[in-house]
Amino acid sequence: MDESTSSHLDACAARSARLHPGLRFLFEGRTPALLAPMAGVNDIVFRRLCLEQGCDLTYTEMISSKALSFANEKTRHLLDLAEGERRVAIQLFGHEPEVMAREAAWVEDELGDALALIDINMGCPAHKIVKKGDGSALMRDPDLAASIVRDVACAVSCPVTVKFRRGFGAEEETAVDFGLRMEDAGAAAVTVHGRTAAQMYRGPSEWECVSRVKAALSVPVIGNGDIVSGASAADMVRATGCDGVMIARGAQGNPWIFADVRRVLDGMPPAPDPTRQDRVEMARRHIHLLSSRLGNTVVYMRKHVMWYLHGVPGASRARAALNACVTVDDFDRVLDELLADAARIEEEDRAYRDV
């Protein structure tokens, strides 16, 4: 056995020693691709579509522990399982250890074996979240953050994970120290986004930060930020050594990304790009499946539909009509018109090129 093989086996053994039994299904034998928790995006139909395309684990939208404690019905519906969702990750946000622990235990009781893990949001940079001391604000108070992780981990038997950023301030990089604190407090894995909270989503994600966290921690480290294809997912794994990849904005209107990521990470050629017909019909399917839950009024779908139609000829001109859609029939009519327009535009382009 050569030295590099020995070192690799030693590293694998070390990671296995720190792998929570509840995470073996996710990390043993492959590099998983996960759907990031996204507020206003991860409805049960979108999660179902991502699973169908090869996503290894879906997350709910982030859920307020405070709202759960008030028995808010709308918030509790965020825990509903999608069809085919045998396991789901629940992301909670809040800053009160006792409340977080109590509601995490309630979630575990409600979902039972369907609960893959409880993730604690310490990365959301939105002002309305940060001003309450939640999300990425917790990176400014590692002691409180550690108390939350410790109390939640004591309250549940499932794995507890943490999602955080490179740092809070514009030029800060505290991710390594923060990650070590979370690991010591009981986090079974961490997800690192390579931008600071101050950056929001501006500028490139610093994958070197993910690499430094991976080198310092013993628990699995999931990389997040600027993953938009199978190729970029593989680039992140090579650059950082991360144990998994989490996809956020790259999945919006693009559940096919998981098929592409899965193929590339498994050493196969990239998946073909979806056709305009694929994009329109996926948007239509999302609308119809969601209407069976919400009824005929599906205004919520407008943003999803525009994401799905990215790159479809004529989609930008159809924006006004799509933004006026209210019912399933409205969307069907506009999508049918768009398909006809796209075919006409492509035919005109071909005729022009042939002249």
Catalytic residues: 124
User: Strand pairing partners for 161?
Assistant: 119, 189
Strand arrangement of the beta sheet that strand 244-247 belongs to: 33-35, 244-247, 221-224, 189-193, 160-165, 115-122, 88-93, 63-64
Rounded to the nearest 10 degrees, what angle do helices 276-294 and 44-52 cross at?
Answer: 140
Cβ atoms within 10 Å of 277's Cβ, excluding its own: 12
Beta strand ranges found along the chain (DSSP E): 33-35, 63-64, 88-93, 115-122, 160-165, 189-193, 221-224, 244-247
- CA–CA separation, 291 vs 327, rounded Å? 9
**With the C-alpha atoms ordered 246, 252, 255, 257, is the resulting torsion angle positive or negative?**
negative
Compute the residue count for the chain: 355
- CB of 192 closer than 8 Å to CB of 224: yes
Radius of gyration of the chain (CA): 21
List the structure tokens of 99. 């409340």
Residue 110: in which H helix or E strand, if any? Answer: helix 97-111
Cβ atoms within 10 Å of 72's Cβ, excluding its own: 14
- CB of 212 closer than 8 Å to CB of 235: no
Q: Could you tell me which of 230, 146, 161, 242 has the C-alpha nearest to residue 194?
A: 242
- CB of 166 closer than 8 Å to CB of 193: yes
List the structure tokens of 312. 């479809």
